[in-house]
């Protein structure tokens, strides 16, 4: 049971990360998030990270862009571990907090590598994903683009908002 809870934690924390990445893109583009969601929902997560990295490089100061791009790269690495955990084939281990993950190769062959993984190890991966999500939110908050008390409120459309220094304008297309 502990293993299933830990695996579920990965699914939830990754979904929150995906939502935050979409929010970052929409806010950096200056687009209402609810209007951007139909676009984001049709993008694979790697495409979302690539888009975020590109828009960060265009709109943010160099140090903020570099940090955000590094966070995206870290998330993509964690995504590989997330995929192994969520899409793996699990066999119960000796106790309820340990399981064995069967690793499949192309055409359904099972590799000889079948690591034993604990619920705690999986929960630690979930915690790392959650910390990345919080890091993205903190970046938006520093830029004045995120209110943790009302995350869906679009700062650009909030008349009572104190104006922040503008983001770098997008270069015109020639």
Using DSSP, state whether 100 is helix, strand or coil: strand
For residue 146, the enclosing domain spans: 2-89+119-150
Of 127, 131, 49, 119, give the one whose Cα is nearest residue 90.
119
Is 72 within a domain?
Answer: yes
**pTM, two decimal places:** 0.82
Each residue's pLDDT tens digit, 89-119? 888 888 888 888 877 665 666 666 778 889 9
Is 65 within a domain?
Answer: yes
Is 158 within a domain?
Answer: no
Each residue's pLDDT tens digit, 55-81? 999 999 999 999 999 999 999 999 999
Is 127 within a domain?
Answer: yes
Structurally, the chain folds into a number of domains equal to: 1
Counting runs of H as helices and runs of E as strands, what totals does the chain give?
5, 3
Cβ atoms 130, 10 nearer than 8 A: no
Is 53 within a domain?
Answer: yes
How many Cβ atoms are within 10 Å of 142's Cβ, its own excluded? 11
């Amino acid at each position: 049971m502990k293993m299933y809870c830990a695996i579920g934690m990965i699914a939830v924390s990754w979904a929150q990360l995906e939502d935050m990445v979409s929010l970052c893109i929409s806010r950096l583009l200056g687009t209402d998030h609810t209007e951007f969601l139909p676009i984001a929902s049709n993008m694979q997560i790697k495409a979302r990270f690539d888009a975020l990295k590109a828009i960060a490089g265009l709109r943010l100061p160099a140090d903020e862009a570099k940090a955000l791009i590094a966070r995206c790269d870290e998330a993509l690495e964690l995504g590989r571990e997330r995929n192994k955990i969520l899409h793996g084939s699990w066999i119960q281990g000796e106790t309820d907090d340990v399981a064995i993950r069967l690793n499949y190769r192309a055409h359904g062959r099972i590799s000889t590598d079948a690591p034993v993984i604990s619920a705690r190890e999986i929960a630690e991966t979930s915690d790392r994903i959650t910390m990345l999500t919080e890091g993205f939110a903190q970046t938006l908050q520093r830029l004045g683009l995120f209110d943790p008390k009302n995350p869906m409120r679009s700062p650009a459309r909030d008349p009572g908002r104190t104006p922040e220094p503008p983001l770098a304008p997008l270069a015109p297309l020639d």
